Amino acid sequence: MGLGLAAFLFVAGCSRSPAPPSPEFEQASRRWSALYAQKLDDAYLDPSTGEIEAQLQRVPADSVDSVASQDLLQRIQAGRTRMQAAQEDQRRAVANAGKLPTLDPSSTNFPSPAEPVAAEPADAGPEDAGVIAGPQMGTPASQLVAGFEGCFTRGTPVTVEERGMRDTWQLSDRASCQLGYPTHRDSVLVIEDGRVLALLPKSAMRTVRRYEDGGTVPADSGGR
């Protein structure tokens, strides 16, 4: 009985306690935590990860941090493999996106594009259509003095209903003016506020006689 107890005490006294925590693991773990917090999954591909792995591999096998160091080392290696595969997939996707397929309509079921048909020009109206030459409504009266080749001369003032007396201009009888401004041959330009108010046909003008007492009668009434 005494010998057995002595043997037990001897064996128990010879067992060794685990090695203390590893400084290598402490440093590697701290560096990895900081790196991952900064770059997230990109940390697996960071060049400094190799130094962290080297520190983890130097952790003694009998250290209390041995299991934890191996676990962290495996997680880093697995993460690197995953990120490298993702990078390769992305590279292939970009490369394939840059390749445009060339399709021959004769060897596919796609219909050939229709031949372009030249559009007919829009109808511009009669051949002689275009901008009407000569002064129009809104033309400054000052342009009638020296503009338009001097083809417009002052006419007799007329009374416009509800507007009063207004100056008029009309086309000169010169042959060159009659040919140059044919649309104004039988028109009178009524002026108001320094601009052409209207172009009135001469046939629309009515001549009246005004007597001293203020009365008026049409000129074609024979004075009755």
Q: At residue 74, does pLDDT exceed 90?
A: yes
Burial 159-186 (b: 16+ CB within 10 A, else e): eeeeeeeebbbbbbeeeebeebbeebee
Question: Is the model's pTM score more than 0.75?
Answer: no
Q: What are phi and psi of 223, to 5 degrees?
A: 85, 5
Q: What is the DSSP letter of 41?
A: G
Q: How many Å apart are CA 205 and CA 91, to the nearest integer?
A: 87
Q: At residue 38, does pLDDT exceed 70?
A: yes
170 token code pair? 């009309």
**Residue range 84-100, pLDDT digits in tens:** 999 899 888 888 876 65
Q: Residue 132: how many CB atoms within 10 A of its CB?
A: 12
Q: How many Å apart are CA 89 and CA 197, to the nearest integer?
A: 77
The number of residues in the chain equals 224
Single-letter residue type at 40: L
What proportions of the chain, in percent to the nearest 5, are helix, strand and coil?
A: 45, 15, 40
| pLDDT at residue 96 in the model | 80
Q: At residue 82, does pLDDT exceed 90?
A: yes
| pLDDT at residue 2 in the model | 44
**Residue range 162-218, pLDDT digits in tens:** 788 888 988 888 888 888 888 888 888 889 888 988 888 888 777 665 656 655 555
216 token code pair? 């008026």
Cβ neighbors of 107 (< 8 A, separation 6 or more) are: none
Q: At 122, is the pLDDT very low, low, confident or very high (cuts 50, 70, 90)?
A: low
Q: At residue 81, does pLDDT exceed 60?
A: yes
Per-domain boundaries in the chain = 21-97, 142-221
- Residue of 161, 162, 163, 145 whose CA lies nearest to 153: 145
Cβ neighbors of 171 (< 8 A, separation 6 or more) are: 134, 151, 152, 153, 177, 178, 181, 184, 185, 187
